[in-house]
A and B are shown apart, each in its own frame.
Chain A
Amino acid sequence: MKKLHFLEVEGNSRGFYTLLGVFGLISLIGMFAAYYMEHHGHYVTGMSNQVVWGTPHVFAIFLIVAASGALNVASISSVFAKTAYKPLARLSGMLAIALLAGGLVVLLLDLGRPDRLIVAMTKFNFLSIFTWNIFLYTGFMGIVAVYLWTMMDRPYNKLTKKAGMGAFIWRLVLTTGTGSIFGFLIAREAYDTALLAPMFVIMSFAFGLAFFMLVLMASYKYTDRPLGDYIINRLKNLLGVFVAAVLYFVIVYHITNLYSADHQGVSAFILADGGIYTFLFWVVQIGLGSLLPLLLLYGPTGKNRTMIGLASALIIIGGLAQLYIIIIGGQAYPMVMFPGMEVSSSFYDGVVASYSPSLPEVLLGVGGVGVTLLLVTVSVAALKFLPASLADEVADPHAK
């Protein structure tokens, strides 16, 4: 195995400025959409008193969940001592921070009163899982930053394993915390299950790695740096395992729901008569987002980079669909106040709430992805995150 050599991406190039411009613009449009929503109030969105968390939450939670998953590669390298992943550890840590930042921006800008951020940062109710998440998120950024520093500053290299272990434990707690935001909503059928928290952990593995692979392949292609099959094959096999694991959790979730009388309704809704949610479930989440990527990754196309990239993109789209179903479908499904009775009222009791995403919501959500990619672009140019080469003779520990 040749010596690993990290190098900044050339910042003074046309390609770099183009990317900066594109991601900057996407972020800016997102910010503008948020300003528009805040200025007028949320009446300009598809959200209502029935569906109170909309598309921005789908993106925000996706990015936050993916953030902890993106750290996986680094964890495997330092916690589980797999040297093959070591060259990727820095990118993995940096991407985790960038994803979390993107998600938090969206979450913050969708608040009714984002100007009261200072209230959220100074007045805490420690019973609230949201409060805990504020600490989990800021702590995550801090601990991953320290972890990156131990990797990048040679005298501190010996601390990498410890910092990596800390970050690994933290990320598990963080994703459990994110999943628990829903787990605490006892009154809503879709969320009233202990399965949600572990399911979020496994979802984070899949979404985070898919995002990681896209960034990795794109940046090596864009900078003409060699990226060998050895590393890509390992990653894509891992990705396939994660996707299959998510699928397994989804099946268990619905089967347990269908067996319990109080939870049958919501699963029947998603699986059979939920209209758009049923479509999103079978076609986008299961078909395009799980089965097709598995086929692409393990089938005859398994060595084709374009197909691996496509599979990763599909997993991300499937993940967004999955969160859309959980978050929005879970709210659209009527809450049961009088079991077994038919109810109706002026406040939409007993009916499936309607929701269609508005343009500003979508732009805000996509803006969060823009913020993430902008941070990644700036980071790889500013600091030594990417190895100059990941050709097989560098990346494969068994190569001569």
Chain B
Amino acid sequence: MTSKIEKEDLSRRNFIFGSIAAAGLTVAPGVMLYQTANARDLSKAASSKVRWGMLIDTSRDVDWNKCVEACVKEHGLGNEEHSRPDQRTQYIRVVEVKNKSTGYSMSLPVMCQHCEQPPCVDVCPTGASMKREDGIVLVDRHRCIGCRYCMMACPYKARSFVHETLTDQSTTTPRGKGCVESCNMCVNRVDNGQLPACVEASEGAIVFGNLNDPESDISKLLAKHGGKQIRADLKLNPGVQYQGI
């Protein structure tokens, strides 16, 4: 992963998540060890020169469940005590796709696709659902009123609603009853110069990087092999793209 982080003005959005990540640093000093030259200066806003994206190679023979496990661990998911299975939070899931006529089947991980034109951001009445300058789409959980309109609008079913009071939370991913949440591309890690948890667990099958930098690995791969978007017909231009679907 190579990226140049530009210095930009401080904005509300980045301030909030910057400060959460910063809090993470003090709570979990170990995180500091990972801080690299790529880490974002947390006093500065994320740059629009950066658009984070992922390229997922579904033809690779990897166990995608490892990515799911890494995500669950990173964000402290799976700690619901009362919720039914259909009420539990899932940021990322493995979808089995089968062609009825040919019998061909494959599986792929699906999470928030971090659209360039995110419907969840358009519909959110309070602006809690938002897209950072660097393309990451997430919910400001201090501003979310839990109307669930964004869940209705998401074409990827990427969002979950917290159906109960949660205890034993991860310090870097605050979650709260009555709010909506979804994959945030591991902002806490990315702002720290680390890779998202699922990318790290993918044995190289998921490439993470700056889509706006033609020299980044992800851009070069996309230029060479192309990438496919799920529901490309909706013209949302997701930042998560696939090969082999």
A41-B178, A188-B152 as given contacts; A111 in contact with B125, CB under 8 Å: no
Nearest chain-B residue to A342 (Cβ)?
B98
Nearest chain-A residue to B122 (Cβ)?
A127
Q: Is the CB of A345 within 8 A of B95?
A: yes
Nearest chain-B residue to A116 (Cβ)?
B145
Q: Is the CB of A40 within 8 A of B82?
A: yes
Query: A7 in the interface, Cβ–Cβ < 8 Å?
Result: no
Cβ of B146: which chain A residues have Cβ within 8 Å of it? Answer: 111-113, 116
Q: How many residues of B contact A (CB 8 A)?
A: 55
Binary contact readout B118-157 vs A (1 if CB under 8 angstroms, 0 otherwise): 0101111111000000000000000111111101111111
Q: Which of B98, B126, B162 has the most CB atoms of chain A within a 10 A radius of its CB?
A: B126
Query: B60 in the interface, Cβ–Cβ < 8 Å?
Result: no
Query: B231 in the interface, Cβ–Cβ < 8 Å?
Result: yes
Binary contact readout B72-112 vs A (1 if CB under 8 angstroms, 0 otherwise): 00000000101110111110011111111000000000100
Query: B165 in the interface, Cβ–Cβ < 8 Å?
Result: yes
Cβ of A129: which chain B residues have Cβ within 8 Å of it? Answer: 123
Q: Is the CB of A48 within 8 A of B87?
A: yes
B:210-245 near A, CB below 8 Å: 230-231, 234, 245
Binary contact readout A44-86 vs B (1 if CB under 8 angstroms, 0 otherwise): 1001111011000000000000000000000000000000000
Query: A389 in the interface, Cβ–Cβ < 8 Å?
Result: no
Binary contact readout A340-383 vs B (1 if CB under 8 angstroms, 0 otherwise): 11111111110001100000000000000000000000000000
Nearest chain-B residue to A122 (Cβ)?
B126
CB distance from B85 to the nearest CB of A (A): 8
Q: Is the CB of A131 within 8 A of B125?
A: yes
Query: B161 in the interface, Cβ–Cβ < 8 Å?
Result: yes
Cβ of A353: which chain B residues have Cβ within 8 Å of it? Answer: 86
CB distance from B71 to the nearest CB of A (A): 13
Cβ of B179: which chain A residues have Cβ within 8 Å of it? Answer: 112-113
Q: Is the CB of B178 within 8 A of A113?
A: yes
CB distance from A120 to the nearest CB of B (A): 5
User: CA separation between A131 and B125, bound complex, in Å?
Assistant: 5
User: CA separation between A44 and B153, bound complex, in Å?
Assistant: 24
Q: Is the CB of A341 within 8 A of B100?
A: yes
Q: Is the CB of A343 within 8 A of B83?
A: no
Query: B201 in the interface, Cβ–Cβ < 8 Å?
Result: no
Q: Is the CB of B100 within 8 A of A125?
A: no
Q: Is the CB of A42 within 8 A of B94?
A: no
CB distance from B10 to the nearest CB of A (A): 19
CB distance from B93 to the nearest CB of A (A): 4
Contact of B155 among A40, A130, A186, A344 (CB under 8 A): A186
CB distance from A261 to the nearest CB of B (A): 13
User: CA separation between A331 and B86, bound complex, in Å?
Assistant: 14
Nearest chain-B residue to A45 (Cβ)?
B163
User: CA separation between A50 and B89, bound complex, in Å?
Assistant: 11
Q: Which of B93, B100, B122, B152 has the most CB atoms of chain A within a 10 A radius of its CB?
A: B152
Query: B177 in the interface, Cβ–Cβ < 8 Å?
Result: yes
Query: B180 in the interface, Cβ–Cβ < 8 Å?
Result: yes
A:139-187 near B, CB below 8 Å: 181, 184-187
Q: Is the CB of A41 within 8 A of B123?
A: no
Contact of A337 among B94, B99, B153, B231 (CB under 8 A): B231
A49-B86, A111-B178, A128-B124 as given contacts; A343 in contact with B162, CB under 8 Å: no
Q: Is the CB of A53 within 8 A of B148?
A: yes
Q: Is the CB of A124 within 8 A of B98?
A: no
Query: A119 in the interface, Cβ–Cβ < 8 Å?
Result: yes
Q: Is the CB of A130 within 8 A of B93?
A: no
Q: Is the CB of B161 within 8 A of A112?
A: yes
Q: Which of B80, B161, B245 has the most CB atoms of chain A within a 10 A radius of its CB?
A: B161
User: CA separation between A52 and B89, bound complex, in Å?
Assistant: 13
Q: Is the CB of A112 within 8 A of B122?
A: no
Binary contact readout A310-347 vs B (1 if CB under 8 angstroms, 0 otherwise): 00000000000000000000010001011011111111
Query: A134 in the interface, Cβ–Cβ < 8 Å?
Result: yes
Contact of A119 among B98, B119, B143, B157 (CB under 8 A): B143
Binary contact readout B152-192 vs A (1 if CB under 8 angstroms, 0 otherwise): 11111101111111000000000001111000000000000
A52-B152, A338-B97, A345-B95 as given contacts; A130 in contact with B123, CB under 8 Å: yes
Cβ of B95: which chain A residues have Cβ within 8 Å of it? Answer: 337, 343-345, 347, 349
Cβ of A354: which chain B residues have Cβ within 8 Å of it? Answer: 86
Query: A398 in the interface, Cβ–Cβ < 8 Å?
Result: no
Contact of A41 among B121, B156, B162, B234 (CB under 8 A): B162
Cβ of A346: which chain B residues have Cβ within 8 Å of it? Answer: 90, 93-94
**12 extra A-B contacts, CB within 8 A, seeds A129-B123, A185-B152, A349-B95:** A38-B178, A42-B161, A48-B84, A49-B88, A113-B145, A116-B144, A128-B124, A128-B149, A185-B153, A186-B119, A186-B234, A354-B86
Ordered by A's residue number, 9 sampled pairs between the chains whose C-beta atoms are within 8 Å are A41-B162, A43-B80, A43-B83, A48-B163, A113-B178, A125-B124, A337-B230, A338-B245, A341-B97
| Interface, chain A (partner B; CB < 8 A) | 38, 40-44, 47-50, 52-53, 111-114, 116-117, 119-120, 123-125, 127-131, 134, 181, 184-188, 331, 335, 337-338, 340-349, 353-354
The 6 lowest CB-CB distance pairs between A and B, nearest first, are A112-B146, A112-B178, A187-B155, A130-B125, A41-B164, A48-B86
